[in-house]
Amino acid sequence: MLATRLNLMFSPVATAAVCAFAISIAALPEGARAQAQAEPFEPYSGQPGKDVVWVPTPDGTVEVTLNLAGLTPQDYVIDLGSGDGRMVIAAAKRGARGHGVEFNPQMVTFATARAKEAGVSDRATFIEGDMYVADISKATVLPLFLLTQNLDRLVPNFLALRPGTRIAAVGYTISEWEYDEKATVGGSCNAWCTVYKYIVPANANGAWKVGDGDLVIQQRFQKFTGTLRGTPIENGRLHGDEISFSAGGVDYYGTVAGSEIRGARPNAWRAARAGG
């Protein structure tokens, strides 16, 4: 996302100037007025939007964001609040497919034209839409420039994604969700220089049956506590669909696959979701 919220307040002088400009346009002859109104759209930093104002992500930050996300040509990138399309276009130039969701229809048209000019319109598409209800189910990478309050509101959407999906958040973190990695833009960067990476964890929360015993997991994002056959769990962690924890001095590792956990170490073990 190429945006951050600013508190916009118009002074009486600024308001008067806007009104004077509108009156001057209306007073023009019809031909001149049509020409003035037909000026090509050009986005500007601080441009108001539905939930945020638009601020362009610096080019250096775009590159660091995609690098931190581990972007590959096999990835499908979705940018929520895609603005002028620079993040999606940059991903498409690397061979990935990208899709931008933007509330402002003029921005959508502008970004589409930029993708065509860059020669990546077959891999970079944009639609008008609301980021909170957009279908992001195909995403493997979400590069986002959003405020924490926007990211927090999107958390249920994020957690419904496939385990292992990477979120690269520019400048702001997700409340209570510990980032997995971060990167800082070097050189002369002086704004929006830090990017935070989150890896969507599998949903392992709840009760499981392990042989004739129980595995109970209380999950909070990629960390969890609980018990294994009544023994407290320590160091519970999910990295995508990979699960690891300790209980009774033994380290356990496995993979969460829907309603089953396929254990690999210390020996092959299986857990089935209770009632699943």
> Which domain-ending residue is among 152, 171, 199?
199
Q: SS3 string of the chain? A: CCEECCCCCCCHHHHHHHHHHHHHHHHCCHHHHHHHHCCCCCCCCCECCCCCEECCCCHHHHHHHHHHCCCCCCCEEEEECCCCCHHHHHHHHCCCEEEEEECCHHHHHHHHHHHHHCCCCCCEEEEECCCCCCCCCCCCEEEECCCHHHHHHHHHHHHCCCCCCEEEEECCCCCCCCCCEEEECCCCCCCCCEEEEEECCCCCCEEEEECCEEEEEEEECCEEEEEECCEEEEEEEEECCEEEEEECCEEEEEEEECCEEEEEECCCEEEEECCC
The residue range of the domain holding 134 is: 53-199
Q: Are residues 61 and 135 located together in one domain of the fold?
A: yes
Q: Which residue has the higher pLDDT, 26 or 251?
A: 251
pTM of the model: 0.82
What is the per-residue pLDDT across 76-118, written as a single tens digit (0 to 9) for each?
999 999 999 999 999 999 999 999 999 999 999 999 999 999 9
Q: Are residues 83 and 164 located together in one domain of the fold?
A: yes
Q: Are residues 63 and 152 located together in one domain of the fold?
A: yes
- Tell whether 28 is covered by a domain: no
